[in-house]
Amino acid sequence: MAPPAERAFLHLDGPQATLSLDAAAGESLIEWRKSDPARVDFHIAGQFHLRADIRRLMEAFDEKLAEQTRLMKERMREALERGKPSPVGEQAVSSAQSELDFALALLRQVDGIYDEHGQYGHGLNLCGLLGLRKPIVMWTRDVGDKQGAEFVANPDAYLQRHLYMGSYLTEPFPGNDHTILPVDWAEKYYMDYGPLFDAISGKKWVLQPHVIEVQGQKAKANLFEVPGGYVIPVTFGGEQASVKVFLRRLPKLAGQKTFRIEAINPGSNRWVSVKATEDGELLTLDVPLRRGCAMVKLAHTWIKPQNHYFVTPITLEMGTVIEGTKIHYTLDGSEPTIRSPLYSAPLPLEKTTTVKMAVFKPKFFRRGTMVGSVITANFVKVPPSS
């Protein structure tokens, strides 16, 4: 069997669920089919490897879950006795809570979600809600398939719907089984929207009432927290050249008074400054649109350039608007600490490198407190096009 995996993806596929594990020996797939729920098929690189009894694999998990459920029921029973509800109400609440606990326990083991029915609106909505704090990838049908007709009819709308929900699409690649294949015109749309989808990496939904609004509902906008700040996908703006976006009571970090605000449109590789006005707790953005769409980034900390692929050597720039802090970084993929190199000037980069940076509020004797979270950027050197 393949070595233990570091990451896992839950693959929703109608009557079966597939758990994909990235292992050192290659991709290992565990398929649990409802027709035979007591068995598990293991595959390595697409080849049959081992068949095992799922009951043994689940025993430890079931025991731990049963203990957690028992303790939860005891706490609820004590609370219910104090309120003296009916036995029917107690049973219903306990049952619902047990199912919720099980769902939460399961999702804690999942790093992301892939939905093989991503072309349907209900599937996109479901996985969008399951992935409030996790990445989601939706299936994209082959454009030659009748179920791929929606992409063919209006590629901008198809891509913007996924962008609005914070969802990635399946990438075209040769040999896909009834999934999108490389087609010049379709790949052009993927390239046009690529920088916008790159911006939602690491997204988490901001679940704050009335935090974002588009003036006159002339477009749709969502708000995600990402490492270094927030991003706003503005979509379905029609023929509008620009729209006003209102943000209310947007949380800031200690020492932060403002944001660096930029936007990029489909078909562009250049981020441009966005005009913003702040009045108390209200922040108003004048967002330029192209094809009815834009991605807005509100950064308190950043690494530039935003494009992480390069052919010739590039220069890295790091920055922050958080006052009284210093930037420390690493170029070997390790987590930055207060003892990591201090950023003081742009850095040349000539090869593929994982850059990590963090902002620290310094104290005495080379100690400090990190403000915000670590920002990671994978810069990849690619060969020149032939």
In the chain, where the domains are located: 112-198, 204-299, 302-381
CATH of domain 204-299: 2.60.40.1180
Q: What gap in Å lies between CA 153 and CA 129, rounded to an integer?
A: 27
Helical spans, DSSP H, in the chain: 54-83, 87-107, 121-130, 149-153, 155-164, 184-198
Going edge to edge, which strands form the sheet with 347-349? Answer: 301-304, 314-320, 347-349
DSSP for residue 215: G
List Cβ neighbours of 174 (8 Å cut-off, separation of 6 or more).
181, 182
Question: How many other β-carbons are positioned within 10 Å of the β-carbon of residue 142?
Answer: 18
Please tell me the predicted confidence (pLDDT) of residue 141: 83
Q: The tokens of 142 are what?
A: 């082959």
Write down the pLDDT at residue 39: 38
Q: What is the pLDDT of residues 327-382, one digit of tens each?
A: 999 999 999 999 999 999 999 999 999 999 999 998 765 678 999 999 999 999 99
What is the rounded (10 degree) CA torsion for 233, 237, 240, 242? -20
Instruction: Provide the pLDDT for residue 53.
Output: 42
Around Cβ 281, how many Cβ atoms within 10 Å?
9
The answer to whether 309 and 382 are in contact (CB under 8 A) is yes
What are the strands, taking DSSP E only, across 159-200? 168-169
As a whole number, the mean pLDDT across the chain is 79
pLDDT, residue 122, reads 84
Q: How large is the angle between the packed helices 155-164 and 184-198, nearest 10 degrees?
A: 20
Query: Which of 98, 291, 104 shows the shortest CA–CA distance to 189?
Result: 291
Query: 66-74 — which CB contacts under 8 Å span 24+ positions?
Result: 68/101, 68/105, 69/98, 69/101, 69/102, 72/97, 72/98, 72/101, 73/97, 73/98
- Give the HSE-up count for residue 92: Cα atoms under 13 Å, Cβ half-sphere: 5
10-residue stretch averages of pLDDT, the chain, 386 residues long: 38 39 35 38 34 47 64 64 52 56 71 83 85 89 73 92 94 81 91 95 92 96 96 97 97 93 96 95 97 98 90 95 95 94 95 95 78 93 84
Say if residues 181 and 142 touch (Cβ distance below 8 Å).
yes
Residue 123's pLDDT is what? 85
Q: Are 348 and 355 in contact (CB under 8 A)?
A: no
- Residue 364's contacts (CB-CB under 8 Å, 6 or more residues apart) are none
Cβ–Cβ < 8 Å for 26, 19: no
For helices 54-83 and 87-107, the axis angle rounded to 10 degrees is: 140
- Give pLDDT tens digits for 200-215: 999 999 999 999 999 9
**Residues 6+ away with beta carbon under 8 Å from 19:** 8, 9, 10, 11, 29, 30, 31, 32
Supply the pLDDT for residue 341. Answer: 95
**pLDDT for the residue 36:** 41
Distance, C-alpha 349 to centroid of its chain: 27
Could you give the CA distance from residue 192 to residue 185 in angstroms, rounded to a whole number? Answer: 11
For 300, the 3-state DSSP assignment is coil
